[in-house]
């Protein structure tokens, strides 16, 4: 990637709505849609109807938490038919490099332009713990492979693509809160070097720690090389907050969040208020280019969050 953000729309890598808005300097909004655990097109469409118009692009998760779900690429095709822009998630857990390259050629041929590269949750956490994980590549090598396909028109093997290369805006996830904390910005630098154009972060509740991470990111000049979208999620219940604090690796839920929810009469309303406050604070941090709203299985709350956060109407590229 270039030393600084290339804001010239004549040099677009994919031509996606997400890429154009980021390069224009707009504060973008992405959201997330969890495909169903069945072959229901209607289930995707019903969730999508809640989200349409309230974000600039929409992540389709890839069997999140290692639970079998409708394909992220198939779900992306449904969104395209609805006039919405997908961000296809693709994990290394379930595919080797041959399958990943084939799937992305297929996604690109169908018109999908945004890709989020993920290593993936270990299969032991899902509904098929006896399944054999592939993990042929990790997310950093996966990024580099797709960058090479796009920029050099070569497969990971070095062989040339015979027809058109996939036009991709490449994304990755990053967790500012995992230990050892002092190396988190350096890990981001590896993903930027591998080809990440945008980053979506882990859910942010500890804004002070996120600000420290962003300071390290700025000191390395990474905020000028990659677009960073801050991850936010409305908390639906006190139990959800306690579970994330105790059981989700790399999740930082401060004690004051738990205390605040314990004292709230309406837990969901307070969880939404907390999410809105996080959005307000991260918008002011230098180097943050947007927010990624994760409300999986609660997609209907996204319109309220974007409206109350002053993120409407969404801009056009």
Least confident of 19-33, 181-195, 222-236, 242-256: 242-256
Does residue 234 sit within a domain?
yes
Does residue 157 sit within a domain?
yes
| pLDDT (0 to 100) of residue 2 | 41
Here the tokens at position 216 are: 């390290």
What is the domain count for the chain? 1
Q: Is the pLDDT confidence value at 250 over 60?
A: yes
Q: Name the average pLDDT for the chain.
A: 96
Predicted confidence (pLDDT) per residue in 36-55, tens digit: 999 999 999 999 999 999 99
**Residue 4's pLDDT band (boundaries 50, 70, 90)?**
confident
CA 91 from chain centre, in angstroms, equals: 12
Q: Which domain holds residue 233?
A: 9-308
CATH number at residue 212: 3.20.20.220
φ, ψ of residue 9 to 5 degrees: the values are -65, -10
Does residue 286 sit within a domain?
yes
**Residue 130's pLDDT band (boundaries 50, 70, 90)?**
very high
Q: Count Cβ atoms below 10 Å from residue 151 Cβ, excluding itself.
A: 13
| pLDDT (0 to 100) of residue 124 | 93
Does residue 288 sit within a domain?
yes
Does residue 317 sit within a domain?
no
Place of tokens 């994990």: 91
Does residue 3 sit within a domain?
no
Cβ neighbours of residue 241 under 8 Å, at least 6 residues apart?
235, 253, 257, 258, 261, 271
| pLDDT (0 to 100) of residue 6 | 75
d(CA 235, CA 294): 10
Q: Which residue has the higher pLDDT, 1 or 305?
A: 305
90 contacts 108 by C-beta, under 8 angstroms: no
Does residue 314 sit within a domain?
no
Rounded to an integer, the average pLDDT of 205-223 is 98
Rounded to an integer, the average pLDDT of 249-274 is 95
φ, ψ of residue 174 to 5 degrees: the values are -145, 140
Q: Is the pLDDT confidence value at 1 over 50?
A: no
- pTM greater than the 0.75 cutoff: yes
**Residue 3's pLDDT band (boundaries 50, 70, 90)?**
low
Does residue 315 sit within a domain?
no
């Amino acid at each position: 990637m270039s030393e600084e953000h290339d804001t010239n729309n004549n040099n677009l890598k994919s031509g996606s709505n997400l890429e154009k808005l980021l390069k224009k300097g707009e504060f973008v909004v992405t959201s997330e849609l969890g495909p169903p655990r069945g072959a229901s097109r209607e289930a995707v469409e019903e969730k999508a109807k809640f989200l349409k118009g309230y974000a600039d692009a929409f992540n389709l998760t890839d069997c999140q938490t290692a639970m079998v779900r409708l394909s992220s690429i198939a779900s992306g095709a449904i969104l395209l038919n609805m006039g919405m822009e997908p961000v296809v998630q693709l994990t290394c857990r379930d595919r080797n490099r041959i399958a990943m390259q084939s799937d992305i050629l297929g996604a690109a041929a169908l018109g999908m332009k945004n890709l989020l590269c993920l290593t993936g949750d270990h299969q032991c956490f899902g509904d098929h713990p006896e399944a054999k994980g592939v993990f042929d590549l990790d997310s950093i090598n996966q990024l580099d492979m797709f960058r090479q396909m796009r920029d050099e028109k070569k497969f990971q093997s070095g062989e040339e693509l015979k027809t058109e290369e996939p036009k991709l805006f490449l994304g990755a996830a990053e967790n500012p809160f995992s230990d050892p904390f002092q190396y988190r910005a350096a890990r981001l630098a590896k993903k930027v070097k591998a080809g990440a154009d945008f980053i979506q972060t882990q859910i942010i509740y500890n804004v002070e720690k996120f600000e420290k991470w962003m300071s390290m990111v700025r000191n390395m000049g990474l905020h000028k090389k990659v677009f960073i979208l801050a991850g936010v999620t409305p908390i639906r219940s006190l139990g959800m907050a306690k579970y994330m604090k105790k059981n989700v690796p790399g999740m930082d839920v401060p004690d004051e969040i738990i205390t605040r929810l314990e004292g709230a009469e309406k837990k969901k309303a307070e969880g939404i208020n907390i999410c809105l406050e996080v959005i307000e604070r991260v918008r002011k941090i230098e180097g943050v280019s947007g927010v990624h709203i994760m409300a999986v299985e609660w997609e209907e709350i996204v319109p309220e969050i974007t409206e109350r956060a002053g993120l409407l109407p969404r801009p056009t590229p």
